[in-house]
């Protein structure tokens, strides 16, 4: 094995990758192509890949002639209905370059809290993976309400990783790693590795995301990583532009060590 390569990444058979709204919408929509390149390369190595993708509302905004992310729930739902369709078309067009097919799965928080819809979602994803289809998961923003929504897709990605018994979770962001404080502030230092029992008490949190279209931040990513590692799933937190290197096992971003599995 190449020195410096993370063996847990290279050996991972089932990988969940999460990408946020600001990374694949608006002026960053072109990043869908390189993201798909990296996912296709991983798929070609024989791995099973699940993509958790935000971006429905952000993608729908310009099609509704809106200047910014809507604040009222009804318009958010309308933007999601339009944007989810466009987003899936963009993903499928890019995946088609590799002869790959996407499968759309939309979930609400209650779907994973109740046994019947949870098992239905799990069965659907298992079958899609068995058929070598690439499931693309998003929150069902068209029917979700403020009271029942996940709040961010970092949490959704962690729950999906648990649901499918993933070997690895990759959380993509606009920032290349976790830092001791927001990276634009003086004295911010990159954190290369987080032990599974590290409470990160010394980390000063700030938002990770740009363009005013995302809902997550460093705090949500840490919470998601903690959920995954507690279930024995290691996590890489890095930038969307580093996804190919991350999936090859290069030591990019921040590595969250998984707790021992029972």
Which residue ranges are tagged as binding site for substrate? 54, 141, 153
3-class SS letters over 79-135? HHHHHHHHHHHHHHHHHHHHCCCEEEEEECHHHHCCHHHHHHHHHHHHHHHHCCCEE
- Would you list which residues are annotated within the binding site? 18, 54, 141, 153, 173-174
| Torsion angle (degrees, nearest 10) of CA 196, 109, 146, 140 | 110
Binding site membership for ATP: which residues? 18, 173-174
Other Cβ atoms within 10 Å of 72 Cβ, number: 8
Residue 155's contacts (CB-CB under 8 Å, 6 or more residues apart) are 220, 223, 224, 227
Q: At what angle do helices 115-130 and 153-163 cross, to 10 degrees?
A: 70
Beta bridge partners of 169: 16, 235
Whole-number Å distance between alpha carbons of 164 and 142: 24
Tell me the β-bridge partners of 135.
Answer: 103
Instruction: Please tell me the distance from the alpha carbon of residue 227 to that of residue 153, in angstroms, as a whole number.
Output: 13
Distance of CA 38 to the CA centre of its chain: 14
């Amino acid at each position: 094995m190449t020195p410096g390569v993370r063996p847990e990444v290279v050996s991972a058979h089932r990988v969940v990758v999460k990408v946020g709204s600001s990374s694949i919408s608006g002026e960053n929509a072109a990043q869908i192509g390189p993201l798909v390149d990296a996912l296709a390369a991983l798929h070609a190595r024989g791995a099973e890949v699940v993509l958790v993708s935000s971006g429905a509302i952000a993608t729908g905004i310009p099609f509704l002639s809106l200047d910014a992310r809507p604040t009222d729930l009804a318009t958010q739902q309308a933007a999601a209905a339009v944007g989810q369709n466009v987003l899936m078309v963009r993903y499928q067009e890019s995946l088609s370059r590799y002869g790959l097919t996407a499968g759309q799965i939309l979930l609400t928080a209650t779907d994973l809290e109740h046994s019947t819809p949870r098992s239905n979602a799990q069965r659907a994803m298992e079958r899609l993976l068995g058929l070598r289809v690439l499931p693309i998961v998003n929150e069902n923003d068209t029917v979700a309400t403020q009271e029942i929504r996940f709040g961010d897709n970092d949490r959704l990605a962690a729950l999906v990783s648990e649901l499918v018994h993933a070997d690895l979770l990759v959380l993509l962001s606009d920032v290349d790693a976790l830092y001791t404080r927001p990276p634009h502030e003086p004295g911010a230092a990159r954190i290369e590795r987080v032990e599974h029992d590290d409470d990160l008490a010394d980390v000063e949190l700030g938002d990770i995301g740009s363009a005013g279209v995302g809902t997550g931040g460093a705090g949500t990513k840490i919470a998601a990583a903690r959920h995954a590692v507690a279930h024995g799933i290691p996590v890489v937190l890095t930038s969307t532009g580093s996804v190919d290197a991350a999936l090859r096992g290069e030591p990019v971003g921040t590595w969250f060590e998984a707790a021992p599995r029972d």
